C-alpha cells in the first residue's frame, strides 16, 4: 500500500473512531449536564424567593431572564431576575429576587464570577457583601455606601461597598438598578403579568 | 532509556524526570489551577486519565500510524480523551468543572501528554508506556498537591476548604493570585534541584 493511501486511511479511521466515541459520550452525559444547569438555576430561585415550590421562566432576552416563583397552591410569591454585571475581569452572573409588587429585593446571590480572588471575589461572600442585599427597598434606585458601615446603619435602599472591591461592588449595583428599571418597564408595557398567579 | 527496569520506569516520573519540577512541562495549567488543593486533585486526575489512556493507545497504534501523520493522530487521540474527561466532570462534578474553567479542554495542548506520547509511548511497548504514564501521572499529582497545598494554606489559611490556621492568620492573598503561583513554583523547582545536588554529592 502506498504511503499516501496509508496516511489517508489511518487518519480517517482515527477520526471516525474518535467521532463515534465522542458521540456516545455526549449522549451519555448531555441530559445530566442540562439537568445540572437547570438544578443550579432552580436552587438559586428558591434562595432568592423564599418558599418557592415551582418556578417558571416568563421573560428572556440576552443576559436578562425573569422567573416567577409560586408556592404549593400556585400563588405568585415573587420574581427572580437572572442577569449579568460587567465585572472587573468578566461577567458577574447573579440572580436576585423581588416581591410581587417589585418594591423590595429579597436577596441576591452570585452564580458565577471571575473577579480577583481575595478582593473582587468577595462579592460572592455572604458576610462581606450579600447580606447587605437582604430586604432592600427598591422603589428608587439603590446606592452604595462607602466606606462600609454597620448593617443597622444602612438606609433601606443602601448597600455596603466591599473594601478593596469597589469596582465589583459598583458593577453589581449598577446592573441591579438597570435590571430594576427594565423589569418595571416590562411591567408597564404589560409584557410581564404581575397579577396572574397561574401561567404567565 | 535502555536498560531501565520496570520499577525505574515508574519511579523516574516521580523524581528524576518529574514532569513539573524537572521537565517543566505543562506549566501554564499547573500555575493557573494550583490555587486550591481540590482543584489540584481534580486537574491531576483529569491529566492522569488523559495521559494514561492516550499513552496506551499511542503505543498500541505505533506500528500502524505512518511517521508523517503521527502528530495529527496523537492530537486527535488526546483531544478525544480530553473531551471525555471534560464532559464527565461537567456531568458529575459541576462545581469542579466550573472551578477549572477552560483548563480542562486545554489539556489537549498540555505538553506532558504530547511529550510522553512522542518521546516515549510511540517508541515503547504497551506495558512500558503504561508504566511510564502512571509514573508521570503520579509525579504530576504529587507536584500539584505540594504546590496547591502551600498556596491554599498561605493564601486562604485552609486546606481542602477546612481552616487549618487560626483566625489570627491574615491570608496572604498574593499566594492565590498568579504571582504566588510563580513564587511557589520557583521555590519548589529550586528545592528539587538542591536536593538532587546534595544526593549526588553524597554518592
Report if residue A72 sits inside a domain.
yes
Distance, CA of A131 to CA of A152 (rounded, Å)? 12
Q: Is residue B73 less than 8 Å (CB to CB) from chain A?
A: yes
Per-residue pLDDT band at A197 (split at 50, 70, 90): very low
Does residue A200 carry a pLDDT above 60?
A: no
Does residue A48 carry a pLDDT above 80?
A: yes
Residues B91/B129/B149/B172 CA torsion (nearest 10 deg):
-90
Nearest to A112 among B87, B91, B98 (CB): B98
What total number of domains does chain A contain?
A: 1
Asked if the Cβ–Cβ distance from A116 to B77 is below 8 Å, we say no
The confidence score (pLDDT) of residue A192 equals 75
Distance, CA of B41 to CA of B37 (rounded, Å)? 6
Contact yes or no for B148/B40 (Cβ under 8 A): yes
Asked if the Cβ–Cβ distance from B65 to A10 is below 8 Å, we say yes
The chain-wide mean pLDDT, for chain B, equals: 90
Report if residue A197 sits inside a domain.
no
Q: Which of B11, B100, B105 is nearest to B50 (CA)?
A: B105
Report if residue A124 sits inside a domain.
yes
The confidence score (pLDDT) of residue A198 equals 46
Contact yes or no for B50/B117 (Cβ under 8 A): no
Mutate to test the interface with A, among B35, B82, B87, B104 (most CBs of A within 10 A): B87
- Chain A residues at the B interface, defined by Cβ less than 8 Å, are 3, 6-7, 10-11, 14-15, 18, 21-22, 25-26, 28-29, 32-33, 36, 40, 112, 114, 116-119
Report if residue A3 sits inside a domain.
no
How does pLDDT run across B145-180, given as a tens digit for each residue?
Answer: 999 999 999 988 888 888 888 788 888 888 988 899
Q: Give the A:B interface size as CB pairs under 8 Å.
A: 64
Distance, CA of A187 to CA of A10 (rounded, Å)? 61
Report if residue A167 sits inside a domain.
yes
| Nearest residue in B to A39, CA atom | B94
User: How much is the ipTM here?
Assistant: 0.78
Contact yes or no for B151/B176 (Cβ under 8 A): yes
Asked if the Cβ–Cβ distance from A7 to B91 is below 8 Å, we say no
For residue B67 the three cell numbers come to 511517521
Report if residue A99 sits inside a domain.
yes
Distance, CA of A140 to CA of B100 (rounded, Å)? 39
| Nearest residue in A to B35, CA atom | A117
How does pLDDT run across B85-135, given as a tens digit for each residue?
Answer: 999 999 999 888 888 878 888 899 889 999 999 999 999 999 999 999 999
Domain containing A180 equals 45-188
Per-residue pLDDT band at A194 (split at 50, 70, 90): low
Report if residue A112 sits inside a domain.
yes
Peptide bond into A147 cis (omega under 30): yes
Does residue B40 carry a pLDDT above 60?
A: yes
Asked if the Cβ–Cβ distance from A14 to B176 is below 8 Å, we say no
| Nearest residue in B to A29, CA atom | B91
Q: Calculate how close chain B gets to A34, using CA atoms only, in Å.
A: 8
The confidence score (pLDDT) of residue A199 equals 43
pTM: 0.79
Mutate to test the interface with B, among A1, A4, A7, A90 (most CBs of B within 10 A): A7
Q: Is residue B94 less than 8 Å (CB to CB) from chain A?
A: yes
Asked if the Cβ–Cβ distance from B92 to A32 is below 8 Å, we say yes
Distance, CA of B34 to CA of B183 (rounded, Å)? 12
Report if residue A13 sits inside a domain.
no
Amino acid at each position: 500500500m502506498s504511503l499516501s493511501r496509508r496516511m489517508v486511511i489511518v487518519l480517517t479511521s482515527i477520526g471516525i473512531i474518535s467521532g463515534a466515541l465522542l458521540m456516545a459520550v455526549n449522549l451519555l452525559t448531555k441530559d445530566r449536564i442540562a439537568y445540572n444547569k437547570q438544578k443550579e438555576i432552580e436552587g438559586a430561585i428558591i434562595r432568592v424567593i423564599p418558599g418557592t415550590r415551582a418556578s417558571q421562566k416568563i421573560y428572556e432576552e440576552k443576559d436578562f431572564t425573569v422567573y416567577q416563583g409560586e408556592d404549593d397552591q400556585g400563588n405568585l410569591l415573587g420574581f427572580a431576575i437572572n442577569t449579568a454585571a460587567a465585572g472587573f475581569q468578566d461577567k458577574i452572573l447573579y440572580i436576585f429576587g423581588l416581591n410581587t409588587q417589585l418594591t423590595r429585593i429579597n436577596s441576591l446571590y452570585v452564580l458565577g464570577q471571575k473577579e480577583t480572588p481575595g478582593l473582587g471575589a468577595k462579592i460572592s461572600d455572604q458576610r462581606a457583601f450579600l447580606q447587605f442585599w437582604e430586604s432592600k427597598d427598591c422603589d428608587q434606585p439603590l446606592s452604595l455606601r462607602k466606606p462600609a458601615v454597620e448593617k443597622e446603619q444602612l438606609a433601606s435602599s443602601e448597600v455596603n461597598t466591599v473594601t478593596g472591591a469597589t469596582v465589583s461592588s459598583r458593577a453589581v449595583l449598577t446592573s441591579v438598578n438597570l435590571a430594576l428599571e427594565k423589569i418595571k418597564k416590562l411591567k408597564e408595557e404589560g409584557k410581564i403579568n404581575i397579577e396572574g398567579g397561574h401561567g404567565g | 532509556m535502555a536498560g531501565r527496569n520496570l520499577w525505574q520506569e515508574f519511579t523516574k516520573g516521580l523524581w528524576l524526570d518529574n514532569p513539573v519540577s524537572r521537565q517543566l512541562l505543562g506549566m501554564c495549567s499547573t500555575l493557573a489551577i494550583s490555587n486550591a488543593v481540590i482543584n489540584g486533585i481534580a486537574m491531576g486526575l483529569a491529566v492522569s486519565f488523559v495521559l494514561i489512556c492516550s499513552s496506551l493507545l499511542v503505543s498500541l497504534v505505533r506500528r500502524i500510524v505512518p511517521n508523517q501523520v503521527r502528530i495529527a493522530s496523537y492530537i486527535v487521540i488526546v483531544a478525544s480523551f480530553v473531551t471525555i474527561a471534560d464532559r464527565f466532570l461537567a456531568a458529575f462534578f459541576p462545581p469542579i468543572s466550573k472551578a477549572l474553567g477552560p483548563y480542562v479542554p486545554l489539556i489537549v495542548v498540555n505538553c506532558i501528554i504530547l511529550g510522553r506520547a512522542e518521546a516515549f509511548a510511540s517508541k515503547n511497548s504497551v506495558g512500558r508506556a503504561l508504566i511510564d504514564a502512571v509514573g508521570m501521572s503520579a509525579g504530576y499529582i504529587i507536584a500539584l498537591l505540594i504546590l496547591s497545598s502551600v498556596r491554599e494554606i498561605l493564601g486562604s489559611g485552609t486546606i481542602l476548604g477546612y481552616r487549618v490556621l487560626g483566625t489570627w492568620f491574615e491570608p496572604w492573598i498574593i499566594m492565590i493570585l498568579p504571582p504566588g503561583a510563580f513564587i511557589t513554583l520557583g521555590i519548589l523547582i529550586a528545592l528539587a534541584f538542591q536536593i538532587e545536588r546534595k544526593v549526588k554529592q553524597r554518592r
